[in-house]
Amino acid sequence: MDTTLTLLPGDGIGPEIVQAAVQVLDKVTGLYGHTIRYQEALFGIAAINATGHPLPAETLRACESASAVLMGAVGGPAGSTPPGSPRPEAGLLALRKYFDLFANLRPVKAYPVLAAQAPLRAELLAGVDLLFVRELTGGIYFGPRMEIGESQDEATAYDTMLYTVPEVERIVRVACETALGRKKRVTSVDKANVLASSRLWRATAEDILRGYPDLALEHNLVDSFAMLLMTRPASFDVVVTENMFGDILSDQASVLAGSLGMLPSASLNASRFGVYEPIHGSAPDIAGRGIANPTGTILSAALLLRHSLGWEAEAAAIEHAVEAAIQAGARTADIAAGQPALSTQEFTAAILDHLAGPIQ
Ligand code: NAD
Ligand code: IPM
Ligand code: MN
């Protein structure tokens, strides 16, 4: 098959890790007899510098004309954009909103071979395999707000966490449908003891779950869930939560996988169009040094093949290659626990070595 992907490498380590993922995509498509064409577009700081906007109209058109989008990251240290320009992160939020990418899937697996050096005891990590289903186009990220300077009262700014029943219904349904093909457990995380939007969330989750008698539903308050994620991570299957809680909890959960650099994500809309990106940021502290861990981006490319193209065997081949390379001892600095580490390029080469085609 022939298809076109749009690449949005973005800022910081973005170009380094997207380049690694493209190498993996090229090899897997070669092995399975497909062709992928790539079109690259400006996003983030480079886009601001070229056009004044982090998400130029031309970039949106490039995304629209592709079967899916593979992204690196956006953002940089203070002073990396001209004074008064919009934030690069605003471009990412606009991209998610434009395509109505309300369902953000963030799978978290603990690799047994990395568990020995993890901050958590290895026995706590055994069997960790959970999936965050993060609501991505609502909540406090998109509610009414006021910046300092916008009111008479210079001492006030606010953001509003707002949810409607249909917004919660559709994300909980995604969680339920996914849970049916997994361990059939749904954990809904909220702050219903304090927030009105969370009480709506909880009541709506219960309504939707009534239509799924085979699924077990557990509610957790976000504060105690943050603790449980560290004390009994293997007990969770599908975790559905609102936008900001999901942002915070998924970075926390990356500790279970060994590093923030390990986790992929898929952001999907109702017609399964998707933007695929690692959960981490542009890592300005290590950008340009060739040492970033490309795993989150490579696994995001696998999610792209699975969810946007329906290429399950090819996606699984990438996931197996990543696991096999790590199993064989390949480590970038963030997962090397002080031992000698591979560069991004060397680590990617190790994954390419383990990538196998279909059995003839
Ligand atoms: P970050 O995720 O960029 O980095 C946090 C820490 O993790 C850093 O020490 C970094 O070196 C390390 N790290 C992250 N990814 C890594 C990788 N692949 N390999 C090795 N180490 C890795 O978070 P931050 O420093 O808080 O944010 C930096 C910028 O990124 C900010 O502008 C932020 O807004 C932006 N950001 C963008 C996205 C995105 O584009 N999706 C996500 C999160 C943060
Ligand atoms: C993420 C990031 C983004 C978010 C930022 C950069 C807007 O942290 O994708 O996790 O908060 O959603
Ligand atoms: Mn985040």
Question: Does 241 lie in the same domain as 220?
Answer: yes
Task: Record the pTM.
Answer: 0.98
In the reported structure, the alpha carbon of residue 71 is separated from the centroid of ligand 1 by a whole-number distance in angstroms of 13
Question: Does 222 lie in the same domain as 126?
Answer: yes
Question: Does 164 lie in the same domain as 77?
Answer: no
pLDDT tens digits, one per residue of 177-218: 999 999 999 999 999 999 999 999 999 999 999 999 999 999
Determine the pLDDT at residue 78. Answer: 87
Q: Whose CA is nearest to atom 34 of ligand 1?
A: 75
Q: Does residue 245 form part of some domain?
A: yes
Atom of ligand 1 nearest to the CA of 13: 18
pLDDT-derived band at 118, boundaries 50, 70, 90:
confident
Question: Does 250 lie in the same domain as 270?
Answer: no
Q: Does residue 334 form part of some domain?
A: yes
| Enzyme catalytic residues | 141, 191, 223, 247, 251
Sign of torsion, CA 180 99 91 297? positive
Axis-axis angle for helices 14-32, 312-327 (nearest 10): 120
pLDDT-derived band at 2, boundaries 50, 70, 90:
very high
> Under the phi-then-psi rule, with left for phi > 0, alpha for psi from -120 to 50, and beta for the rest, what region is 358?
beta
Question: Does 198 lie in the same domain as 97?
Answer: no
Of 199, 201, 192, give the one whose Cα is nearest residue 165: 201
Question: Does 178 lie in the same domain as 224?
Answer: yes
- Nearest 5 degrees, angle CA 175-CA 176-CA 180? 120
- Does residue 253 surpass a pLDDT of 80? yes
Q: The domain that contains 92 carries what CATH number?
A: 3.40.718.10
Determine the pLDDT at residue 249. Answer: 98
Question: Does 268 lie in the same domain as 223?
Answer: no
Phi, psi (degrees; rounded to nearest 5) at 348? -65, -40
Question: Does 23 lie in the same domain as 90?
Answer: yes
Cα 342 from Cα 333, distance rounded (Å): 7
In the reported structure, the alpha carbon of residue 43 is separated from the centroid of ligand 2 by a whole-number distance in angstroms of 15
Percent share of the chain, pLDDT over 90: 94
Cα 311 from Cα 1, distance rounded (Å): 10
pLDDT-derived band at 152, boundaries 50, 70, 90:
confident
- Does residue 73 surpass a pLDDT of 90? yes
Q: Whose CA is nearest to atom 8 of ligand 2?
A: 247
Q: Does residue 109 form part of some domain?
A: no
- Does residue 124 surpass a pLDDT of 90? yes
Instruction: Show the DSSP H helices in the chain as ranges.
Output: 14-32, 45-51, 57-64, 88-98, 112-115, 122-125, 165-180, 196-209, 222-231, 243-257, 295-307, 312-327, 344-353
Question: Does 334 lie in the same domain as 317?
Answer: yes
Q: Does residue 114 form part of some domain?
A: no
Tokens of 22: 């493209």
Q: 144 with 160: CB under 8 angstroms?
A: yes
In the reported structure, the alpha carbon of residue 239 is separated from the centroid of ligand 2 by a whole-number distance in angstroms of 18
Of 106, 104, 80, 108, give the one whose Cα is nearest residue 92: 104
| DSSP-derived 3-state class of residue 246 | helix
The total of structural domains in the chain comes to: 2
Cα 199 from Cα 163, distance rounded (Å): 10
Domain with 238, as residue range(s), is 119-149+157-257
Q: Does residue 285 form part of some domain?
A: yes
Ion ligand 3 — residues with CB under 5 Å?
247
From 69, 89, 242, 277, mutation site for ligand 2 pocket: most ligand atoms within 8 A of C-beta: 89
List, as one string, the DSSP characters of 135-176: E-SSGGGTS-EE-TTSSS-TT--EE-----HHHHHHHHHHHH
Determine the pLDDT at residue 13. Answer: 98
Which of 214, 238, 257 is the C-terminal boundary of a domain?
Answer: 257
263 alpha carbon, closest ligand: 1
Determine the pLDDT at residue 359. Answer: 79
- Does residue 310 surpass a pLDDT of 70? yes
Which of 208, 227, 257 is the C-terminal boundary of a domain?
Answer: 257
Atom of ligand 1 nearest to the CA of 73: 40
Determine the pLDDT at residue 318. Answer: 98
Tokens of 278: 């690692």
Q: Does residue 108 form part of some domain?
A: no
Which of 206, 225, 257 is the C-terminal boundary of a domain?
Answer: 257
Q: Is the CB of 283 under 6 A from ligand 2?
A: no
Question: Does 213 lie in the same domain as 180?
Answer: yes
From 55, 69, 92, 108, mutation site for ligand 2 pocket: most ligand atoms within 8 A of C-beta: 92
Q: Whose CA is nearest to atom 37 of ligand 1?
A: 281
Question: Does 96 lie in the same domain as 25?
Answer: yes
Mean pLDDT estimate for the chain:
97
In the reported structure, the alpha carbon of residue 257 is separated from the centroid of ligand 1 by a whole-number distance in angstroms of 16
Question: Does 286 lie in the same domain as 176?
Answer: no
Determine the pLDDT at residue 360. Answer: 64
Cα 23 from Cα 225, distance rounded (Å): 38
